Chain A
Amino acid sequence: MDPVRLITFPMERDYSLTGPERQNAFDKGLAGAEWYRTPVDRKVLKSLMKRTDWPATRDIAIWVAVLVGSGAGGILLWGSWWALPFFFVYGVFYASAADSRWHECGHGTAFKTRWKNDAVYELASFLLMRNSVVWRWSHARHHTDTIIVGRDPEIAGMRPPQLIVLCLNLFGIVAVPQSLAALARNAAGILPPDEADLIPESERDNAIRVGRIHIAIYVLVALVSLWSWSLLPLMIIGLPRAYGIWLLLVMGLPQHLGLAEDVLDYRINSRTVLMNPILRFIYLNMNYHIEHHMYPMVPYHALPKLREVVKHDLPAPNPSLWNAWSEIIPCVLRQLRDPRHFIRPQLPEGAGVWEPVRSNQTA
């Protein structure tokens, strides 16, 4: 296959938030619409949504302990090949595990105590080079208009897929410079049109302030690295976002990749993948992704119970990551030729009927 074609094959649709697809989404009633959700008894739902500090305290403590332990091992063994396995673990927990902690604390569901959610959210945002204000609004939109083209800023699997970019981003090669550039723009007081579309006027100064803080710290770390003429400071802060993000992509891209766009049913545009306990710890149960989108205020530790309540109405889950990627890879390869192709999950017999109530919101 011609590799250039993989990069320059024109996008069929405009995935920006300010292009023509935005108006299309409103015209079709897809923006801010009501979505299908498997009905759950109110008492059951309340018990599932109940907040507690304990599971997240335990899971964040383990996360921090692994970061400190592996980071210390990497520092002590710096200069020898024995440092490599320590940095391997450090990178995965710095970047891939930070994403799920960022996500849960951003939803405000990980802890019962609000300041704990906010503190971990800010820390994880920094580790991931995400402006915490911009991304809070971005992720809120992702939940309002999940995989609605022209509305959802977090569509990772655009069609046709940019395979080379996706592969390079296993090590942050495209995403890290993009993220730093986005933070630098914010630090300079600039909010590009897509960000301005998401963030209300009252929050924009906060976004600029956060951009300045992040950039200031990264510049400081880079200067320390230069001053000491050692890569080690950047191996501890900054570079792990590149060398440790691969596992997040392996676990996270299947959330929506290869599935439908512009539908108002999470069962059709999201994917639940069964994973082992270690991956579920790193990913904080986000493999239960249909369930999460249906009821985003259910904390991560209650998602397996939520799944038991709603699974009769959901497509069969992918039994493993291997199985998920086995259906995704042929799909995205076919999308190179036919961007309209997607996987349509099979709903179980007797599943709730998909009768979307479309929005009457206007742009």
Chain B
Amino acid sequence: MPWIDACALVDIEEEDLVRLDHEGRTYAVYRISGEEVYCTDGLCTHEKVHLADGLVIDHTIECPKHNGQFDVRTGAAIRSPACEALSTYPARVVDGRVHVEIP
């Protein structure tokens, strides 16, 4: 899979995320602190609500509608009503830009 230039690192606040739409799919790109970044599918596995409006607490993303929670490092669902894991994708910072490896 190719590495995609998602955004500048400074475009994402620490403990926050942004939405990334690419090739008809939608993703969530997270910045936890410094250059620690992650990427997951953008839609909650429970009801397909976009996670971009959710809250990042430590390494957890909380769905903005139902409080389903996922670990952004592994995609694991850690609080119902989220039961299925999110897909995760490699992410890195290169020269102040966030790159993600997505299909």
Contacts and interface: CB of A to CB of B under 8 A. Distances in A.
A336 to B, nearest CB: 34
Contacts of A202: 83
Interface in A132-148: 136-137, 140, 143-144
Interface string B2-20: 0000000000010010000
Interface core residue of A42, A136, A140, A361 (most chain B CB under 10 Å): A140
Contact of B67 (A42, A107, A144, A203): A107
A143 B80 contact: no
Contact of B65 (A114, A136, A203, A296): A296
B36 interface: no
Interface stretch (B21-29, B49-57, B85-93, B95-103): B49-57
Interface residues of A, number: 23
A108 B67 contact: yes
A131 interface: no
B83 A200 contact: yes
A258 interface: no
A356 to B, nearest CB: 15
Given A32-B47, A46-B16, A51-B57, A297 B62 contact: yes
Contacts of A107: 67
B46 interface: yes
Given A32-B48, A51-B57, A143 B83 contact: no
Given A46-B55, A108-B79, A114-B79, A143 B48 contact: no
Nearest to B50: A34
Q: Pick the 8 closest A-B CB pairs, nearest first.
A: A108-B67, A140-B66, A140-B81, A49-B55, A144-B47, A297-B64, A107-B67, A200-B83
A136 B55 CA distance: 20
Contacts of A51: 55, 57
Interface string A310-340: 0000000000000000000000000000000
Given A32-B47, A136-B81, A143 B16 contact: no
A96 interface: no
Contacts of A361: 48
Given A108-B69, A137-B80, 5 more contacts: A32-B48, A51-B57, A296-B65, A297-B67, A361-B48
B64 A137 contact: no
B16 to A, nearest CB: 7
Interface of chain B: mostly helix, strand, loop or mixed: loop
A137 B81 contact: yes
Given A46-B16, A140-B81, A144-B66, A297 B55 contact: yes
A286 B40 CA distance: 33
Nearest to A133: B80
Nearest to A45: B53
Interface of A: 32, 42-43, 45-46, 49, 51, 107-109, 114, 136-137, 140, 143-144, 200, 202-203, 295-297, 361
B73 to A, nearest CB: 18
A143 B57 contact: no
Contact of A136 (B47, B54, B80): B80
B46 A140 contact: yes
A107 B54 CA distance: 13
B91 to A, nearest CB: 20
A40 to B, nearest CB: 9
A153 to B, nearest CB: 14
A202 B77 CA distance: 13
B87 to A, nearest CB: 19
A189 to B, nearest CB: 21
A45 B56 CA distance: 12
A114 B21 CA distance: 32
Contacts of A143: 65-66
Contacts of B79: 108, 114
Nearest to B57: A51
A327 to B, nearest CB: 29
A202 B46 CA distance: 13
A303 to B, nearest CB: 15
